[in-house]
Amino acid sequence: MATEQQEQQKIEQLRHQSADELEHIAGREKENLEGWIPSMARDTEIREALEKAFDYRGDVTITRKDGSQVEGYLFDRRSGSSLSDSFVRIIPSKERTKVNVAYADIAALAFTGRDTAAGKTFDAWVKKYWEKKAAGEKNIQIEPEKLD
């Protein structure tokens, strides 16, 4: 268990880091997926791309093999033993219904929306809090960025 003094030291270190330094989570490299169109030639590439799409906090565009497209937020995926029994669930950006798409039906995937989570780590929030507190502000509230 960390002592109060250790916690204070950690907070003090965070106060002196830039927002770019705070964006990186230890042990995990942040990928910039915005605008990426992955190769989906093999089953493993399809599965890897859809896992990244699940972690992505922006809209994606899925093009089905029949040519139809669905653009929206990919909020769930179910990985089965084959592509035909694996599927993603997406909320289209222009409606509030949930759409299921089998992995086997996906011809292409594109990361088309802005990554709304980029630079939004808890450490970045703590840094902003301490900057405002050091400036003498009271009743500090960090408001979320407005989404488009």
Residue 109 contacts residue 74 (beta carbons within 8 Å): no
Residue 32 buriedness (CB in 10 A; 0-12 / 13-18 / 19+):
exposed
Residue 32 in tokens: 């910039």
- The shares of helix, strand and coil residues in the chain, as percent rounded to the nearest 5, are 30, 20, 45
Q: What is the mean pLDDT of each run of 10 residues along the chain (148 residues)?
A: 65 63 51 79 90 90 96 93 94 91 95 74 72 82 62
Give every CB contact of residue 105 below 8 A, 6+ residues apart in sequence: 64, 65, 66
The predicted structure's pLDDT at residue 147: 55
63 forms beta bridges with: 69, 108
What is the pTM (predicted TM-score) of this model? 0.60
